[in-house]
Each structure stands twice: as C-alpha cells, then as structure tokens.
Amino acid sequence: MKRYEDLAPSLRCIMTPGPVEVDPRVLRAMSFPVLGQFDPEFTDIMNETMEMLRQLFNTRNKWAYPVNGTSRSGIEAVMVSLIAPGDRVLIPVFGRFGHLLHEIAERCGAEVFTVETSWGSVFAPQEVISAIEKFKPDVVAVVHGETSTGRVQPLAEIGQACRRHDALLIVDAVATIGGVPVETDAWMLDAVVGGTQKCLSVPSGMAPVTYNDRAEAKLLKRKQIERGLRAADVRRSELPVVRSNYLDLGMLQDYWGPQRLNHHTEMTSMLYALREGLRLVLEEGLEARHARHILHEQALVAGLAAMGLQLYGDPDCKLTVVTCVIIPEGVDGESVQSMLLGRFGIEIASSFGPLKGQIWRIGTMGFSCRGNNVLRLLGALEAVLLRHGYDLPCGLGVQAALDVYEAKVR
C-alpha cells in the first residue's frame, strides 16, 4: 500500500490578485470546535456575521450573509435569483469577468445586451447610462474591480440611472470589498457580491452578498419553499421559480433569518474564518484599511517605475489592489514567474484571453498587502530579470519603494 506523507504545504509570499495569504488569526479561528448549525451559540455567530457584513458593505440592508461556495457561487446565486427567464439584462464588458456575467445571464434565460470597451480601460458613466436608455433592461450587471485588467469601474452615476429607469443593479465586488471603497447604499447598488479570498484574507469558500428591498421584492415573487418543508397551504410563486435549489436566495434568506428554515448544513469552520476576517477588517477600520492598500500600491508602483518597467492600462482607472506590468520584449514571462516561485517563494500571476503572456498581475490585497512583501518582491523581481538578460538599474526599485514608506513616516 502506498504511504502518504504528512501534509506540509510550502510557505509562500502570495502576491497574486487572489487568493492571497490568509491572516494567521483567521487560520486559528478555523481550528475551533465545531458547533451544530442550530446551536444558539452558532446562530449568534451567524447574526454577528450579518451585522459585520452590513458594515463592510456600507449598507443598512436587512439581508447581508454569505453564500457557501467560492466567489462565483455568490455571483451565480444573485444572478440566478434576480434574473428571470426572458428578462432584459445589460452587461458592460471591460475584461474577462464581464464576459462571465454575460454567460451566467444567458444561462438564466435572459435576453442579454452588452456594451464593450477596450481592455485596460473602463466606461465613462454616461456610456452605460446611454445603453440603459437604449436597451431598457430589467437588470444591469457590472464588475466593479476587473482583476484581469487591473481596472475599477465608477458606479455612483450608474446606480442613480438604474434607479431612475427601474432596473436592478447587480455588482461584482469580489476583488474590491475590504480593499477599495464599496458604498452600497450611497451608490444605489441593489445587490452586491464580495469574495473572501482577496482583500478579506480568508480562504476561498464563501461569498458574502447583500441586497436591498427592491431586490427582495423580486425574490419574493419567485419564492418557493422546498418540497419536503412545505405546509399544505403554501402559495405558488408569481414569477418563474429560481432554477437552482442550492443558490436560491429566497431559500437562503429563510435559513439566515429568524425562521432558520433548514436549507443546507452551514460550513461551520469557514463561517468562523469569515467572522474573524470581518472582525479584523472592522478593527483596522475601513478608511485605514483603504489607505493601507493605497500606500503599498504607491510603493510598488514607484519601485516598478524605477526599474524601468511599464504599467499596463489607463492610469486614471487603475484598481488599487492589482498592478499590471507589461512583460518586457524578449523576456519569457512564464519563466520569470517560475523562477520567482521556485527560488524566492513569491507568486505573481499572468492574465487571460488577449492579455495572456502580455502582462504580469501583482496583487496587494489584505494580509498580503505589507511593506515587507512589496520590498521582497521588488528585490526578487530585479534579480530574476537580470538572470533573464533584461538590463535594468540595480537597486533602484527597492530604494524607490523605501522612499515612499519613509515619506509616509515623515
């Protein structure tokens, strides 16, 4: 019989756009004893998590809870629950994950309309507003932070337009929540999806969502109690029922609400992790946390510029937590990534589609967003590029980043 060794994953410096390094306090929380999902101690933890999620999302919404599954499960839960077959859906596309929203909307049976702009840029709000006026959608779905291109889409004016035209606005904030301001109520966002494995520094496996009364009103029109839990006098839904059982927000809110109507077995240890991650975010303070992400981005960008490397994309819409670097001509990008990982234990990412092999993507997110990580990466990248025959000034990258940090102290 084959003998399997003890599990001993290597320690890594993870500087990708997700997943990122998990805060040790979150890992500790995951080791705590498992409670039953209806134990009063556990339901208290559920309620506390909802309270903290409202603060994270900057909302007074009643509903703010995690969907069990990766970030995509949250996106799909919101879309499959709020997009009924035949609905008109508008999706502005400026990178890979806009195309994902398009695909999911089609699978929901929607009539999908898209507007596209070149990768590396975002939409002027009026471009999206004009499309809303033209297509008259029931739902608009948009990515806030597009990690494939490192860009962030302004949303406030789009939210106002959706409200004027009675369209629900669904926002993918997986990459931004906890690292970049997300103003659910102020921007009039009807449903927002976050992720755990990026700026929250919690393992992948939960997708926090929030939605307002406008969104819930549509959910209630599609609501159906699971067959094995129904009373004899249950009413039928007004609109076609949600095609997924597991990702039906109408059922999930009954589980997270006072009824505690059984839906699935809650992921106990992951909820501990999310609660601790949220506690740490709120302990640091959202404004301080956003400022920390900006500081380390500035240090990273200064170091890359001092090394003579060029950034990709429109700087006016750069996503704070993802920096995209153009791979220098004649340099094997994959070989550089491999050497960074093999020799220095540092992971950065490539990109997708038309950008595959054209850029590196460096994440400064959550617990990974630390000065020692930025300095380590800059020093290692310089060494690896020199090994790959790229001529660059030695030592200037780290010194430029140090200048940013020292200026902050002064």
Predicted local confidence at residue 410, as pLDDT: 66
Span 45-74, pLDDT tens digits = 999 999 999 999 999 999 999 999 999 999
Q: What is the mean pLDDT of the chain?
A: 96
Residue 238 is predicted with a pLDDT of 80
180-204 in b/e form (b: 16+ CB < 10 A) is: bebebeebbbbbbbbbbbbbbbbbb
Q: What is the pLDDT of residue 230?
A: 76
**Is the Cβ–Cβ distance between 321 and 363 less than 8 Å?**
yes
Per-residue pLDDT at 307 exceeds 80: yes
pLDDT of residue 320: 98
User: 38, exposed or middle or buried, with CB in 10 Å at 0-12, 13-18, 19+?
Assistant: exposed
Q: Could you tell me the CA-to-CA distances from 167 to 135, 183, 293 in Å, in that order?
A: 11, 18, 33
Question: 94: buried, middle or exposed (CB in 10 Å: 19+, 13-18, 0-12)?
Answer: buried
pLDDT in tens, 312-336: 999 999 999 999 999 999 999 999 9
Residue 235 above 70 pLDDT? no
Place 226 in a pLDDT band, splitting at 50, 70 and 90: confident
CA dist., res. 176 & res. 52, Å (int): 17
For 330-349, what is each residue's pLDDT tens digit? 999 999 999 999 999 999 99
Average pLDDT of 133-142? 98
pLDDT at 223: 87
26-55 average pLDDT score: 97
Lowest mean pLDDT: which of 195-209, 234-248, 387-401? 234-248
Taking a C-beta distance cutoff of 8 angstroms, is the pair 274, 30 a contact?
no
Mean pLDDT of 359-374: 98
Asked whether residue 220 carries a pLDDT value surpassing 70, the answer given is yes
